[in-house]
Structure formats: C-alpha cells, structure tokens
Amino acid sequence: MSRKIDLRSDTVTRPGPAMRKAIAEAEVGDDVFGDDPTVLKLERMLAEMVGMEAALFLPSGTMSNQTAIVAHTQPGDEIICDVGCHLYNFESSGPAVHAHVIVTAVEGHHGALTADMVRRRIRPINMHQPRTRLVCLENTHNRAGGRIYPVELMRGVSTVAREHELRLHLDGARLFNAAIARGIPVTEWTSLVDSVNICLSKGLGAPIGSMLAGPVEFIERARWIRKRMGGGMRQVGILAAAGIYALQNHIPRLAEDHANARRLAEGLFDLPGLDVRPQETETNIVIIRVKETSRYSATELLALLAEKSVLLSAFGEGVLRAVTHLDVNEADIDRAVEACRKLLAA
C-alpha cells in the first residue's frame, strides 16, 4: 500500500531526526519550580518574537486560549468573538466551564470582526446586563479556511477595545502562517492585542505545546490558572526543546505549505462536483465544498480517498478540509489531486 498522504491537519507531523536530537539533548529541571532552563529559554524567545513582555508554555492551544479567557475575565462577564472561531466552537464549552462567561458570537467577514461589529455589541454598564470584557480574534482563521486577518481591520477593533476598556485576545494558533504569507512580522498583529496564543504543534511541527504571551502580570496570573487546570509540567524542557527547534527552523518553510495548498486548490478547481477557490486559499488550509451535483457526497468522497491513502477531514455539511504541512510535499499534492481526478472526472 502506498504511503499515506495525511492532509487531515497540520497537527499530524512527526518530529524529524534533528528535532529528536534537540529533544534528547535538552537540559531540564522542574518547571513548576521555575527550574527548567529550556522552558525559560523558549518562553523568553517567543515573548521576544511576538513583542510581548512574557510568555508561558502550555500543553495545547485549547488550554492556552481558555487560560487567557479566565485570566482576562470575571465570572459573569461577556466575551465577543466570531461565530466560527475555534475557542467558541471547538474547545468543549471552555468559556462556560472554566471562565463562567457568556459568549456573544458575531458573524465576521471570513472570520474577521470589524470595529463596527464589535462596537455595536458592547453593552452599557448596567447591573441588569453582563459586563462586556473581552474580544477574541483568530488569525489565521481555521474555519474560514486559513484566512488572514487584515491588519487594518484588527487595528480598528483594537482601537474600539481600548476606547471601551475591553481586553483583546488573539488566537494566533497559526499566526506565523499569516506572517509568512503576507511577508510581514507577527508584531503587526500582536502589537494590537493584549494577549496571543501561538501553537507550536501545528504548522511549526513540534509534537506538543502552545505559547501564551502578554504582559508580565497577565502571564503570572495565567501561570496560576495553568497550575489549577493541571497544566503545571515538570521536566518539560524535552518538549520545549522541540518548540525552540521549530521556532528556529520551521518558520520560513511555511511558504512551502502555502504553495502546496495553492497547488492543491488549483488542481481541484476544475474537477466536476467540487467548489474549490484557489484565490481564497491564503495559507495552508484548503476548503473543498462538494456540490449536490457531485457523483459522490462529501462523506463518500472522504471514504473513497482514504482507500487511496489520501486523508482529508470532514468540515461540516458537504465540506471537506485539507491542510498542508511539513510532512507532505509537492509530489504528494499531485498524487492527491490525481486521486480526486480519477474519482470525479467523467
């Protein structure tokens, strides 16, 4: 059987020999005591890269986002976010369970909220109503197909947030994808927000881990919350070493993932039964809409492709998602396109 072309997510990458060497050689200590030099190095490094005062290493993007929400809010507060965003839809009701906040989800433009959308939702200070406290944004936007948040739109939201004394959290699980695709530094976005989550375990290719960055006081609060959630880790420098390796070696190469995603979108564009939009494929995520006129439904296509060792993921009614990453190359993409063509072309 041929090698699997796994396009289900950019989380499926496996650490290569150089990253494994970095893991094996990592200097470690008990990080709950603040003794792990490799974790401290990673936290300093990431904070500097995103232009924030401090950063915290967490096991997952979910814990990073949810810790941020708890740290920014009081029980009963309201947060505003896009209706398709990850921390609202795919983090197991975290805002309700951990932070005891209510969520007002607004239909954004390709996942991006505008200043006006936010302004209209901010409530007056009134004891009958929740206190609007936090706005959460996502860049790149997973559900919207890896779309990049326009800097100017985010600047507008940031201004409104400041005017109303709201906090702004950015779920930048794939923020480096956005930066590489636009050719600008991540600080173009991070300078506009109070806190940011960055995942090391997605396009950057580390086996585990996410970073939460923000002001020192906020990160110290987040450290307590992480401990309460059971996320205090001990000799975790072995994982931090993989994160350092990823930040040092895997950022510029994200451009290859974007080129491969575009190649995939262009290859699928004219296949009968599919609606794929190369011009909307800005980073490493390709959304594949399966038309009602298609020979196979999305579910059937998913199963048939899996039989041919091409793995995609289901992404809602009649929609599939493909994500490129460092374990798939151009030849794999061409094989995936060919497999789709054979199934769908008349």
Ligand X SMILES: Cc1ncc(COP(=O)(O)O)c(C=O)c1O
The C-alpha atoms of residue 139 and residue 72 are separated, in whole angstroms, by 19
Nearer to ligand X, 62 or 283 (CB): 62
In Å, how far are 33, 90, 144, 340 from 297, measured between CA atoms? 54, 24, 21, 13
Interaction pattern, residues 93-122, with ligand X; x per rule: CB under 6 A: ------------------------------
What are the φ/ψ torsions at residue 250 (nearest 5 degrees)? -115, 10
**DSSP string over 255-307:** HHHHHHHHHHHHHHHTSTTEE--GGG--SSEEEEEEPTTSSS-HHHHHHHHHH
CA 257 to chain centre: 15
Per CB under 6 A, contacts with ligand X among 210-249 are: 210
Per CB under 6 A, contacts with ligand X among 262-321 are: none
Query: Under the criterion CB under 6 A, does residue 86 sit at the interface with ligand X?
Result: yes
Query: Under the criterion CB under 6 A, does residue 205 sit at the interface with ligand X?
Result: no
Nearer to ligand X, 208 or 264 (CB): 208
The C-alpha atoms of residue 151 and residue 188 are separated, in whole angstroms, by 7
The C-alpha atoms of residue 134 and residue 137 are separated, in whole angstroms, by 10
Among 19, 61, 113, 193, binds ligand X (CB under 6 A): 61
Among 132, 142, 195, 294, binds ligand X (CB under 6 A): 142
Nearer to ligand X, 186 or 344 (CB): 186
**Count of residues touching ligand X (by CB under 6 A):** 12
Nearer to ligand X, 31 or 171 (CB): 171
The three-state secondary structure class of 180 is: helix
Q: How far is the CB of 65 from ligand X (least distance, A)?
A: 6
Stretch that binds ligand X, among 55-63, 150-158, 162-170, 242-250 (CB under 6 A): 55-63
The three-state secondary structure class of 8 is: coil
- Bond preceding residue 159 cis, omega within 30 of 0: no
Q: How far is the CB of 147 from ligand X (least distance, A)?
A: 11
Q: Which residues bind ligand X (CB under 6 A)?
A: 60-62, 65, 86, 138, 142, 171, 173, 199, 201, 210
